[in-house]
Structure formats: structure tokens, C-alpha cells
Amino acid sequence: MTLHTLFVCKSCSAVLDHEEADDRAEGNQLLLKLLEIQKNDSTYSTLNIEPVGCLWSCVKKYSCAVSFVCPQKYTYHFVDLPQESINDLLEFSLLYQESQDGYVLPPKLPGTLRSHLLVRIPPTPEVIVSQPGAC
């Protein structure tokens, strides 16, 4: 089984002023809590929801950031997500998991996710490492 992970930023970087960082971190924590509630739903049981300290999106003044990641698949990074986007993220997770390479056509992005997509990164090719220190 391929591991699909949704990384959820749980804080904001120190580059923001203290009050703004606190406000954004609260939004991130709420987004994370709402997503974690779905772990008990068998529909989303194959999605690993993983909180991370920082996704560095707040450096560009984006908050509430998440990234969908899976080996050999596209990576999607969404930012400025309102708490109402929970269902859209969960719907996207199903499309992402069903796709062989992780590519989801832009018109199929649920709800307002298209306007919150910061970047889609192509999958890295599978590389056989034959030399020490090679990537």
C-alpha cells in the first residue's frame, strides 16, 4: 500500500510579528484539529495526517498551509485555507489517492482549492543510487 501523507503546518514562522503569528497559528491548529477528527472515518483511513512544525509558507504571508505528498506522485501545496475547506481537502485526498501519478486536473479541484493552490511539484523520477553521497 502506498503511503499518502497530508502534512499540516501547525505554526507560523518567527518572521511574522508576534500578534500576527499567534492569530495564524490558531487557524493552523484549528485546521489540524478538524482534519484529525476525520482519522476515524474509514473513507480517509489510508491518508496519513501529519502535523509539522512549519512549512515556511508564512514567510510569504500565507497561513494555514498543507501539502499532499506521496512517493512517485505530484506534490500539492495549498495555502490560506479557511476552516470551511476541510471537506474540499478530504475530497481532494480521495482524488489524489485514486490517481496513479497524483495528477488531478485543475477543473476537478474541489470547491475553492484551485484558488488556494500555491504549487504543484512533479514527482521525482525513481533513481537507483550507486555511488555514496549521490541523491
pLDDT in tens, 4-50: 999 988 775 444 444 554 455 555 666 777 777 777 778 888 888 88
Domain with 41 in it? 4-121
* Nearest alpha carbon to residue 50 among 6, 89, 90, 10: 6
Number of domains in the chain: 1
pTM of the model: 0.79
Q: What is the mean pLDDT of residues 122-128?
A: 78
What percent of the chain stands above pLDDT 90? 39
- pLDDT above 50 (res 81): yes
The CATH number of residue 22's host domain is 3.40.30.10
- For 99, counting Cβ atoms within 10 Å of its Cβ (0-12 exposed, 13-18 middle, 19+ buried), the class is middle
Question: Other C-beta atoms within 10 Å of 81: how many?
Answer: 23
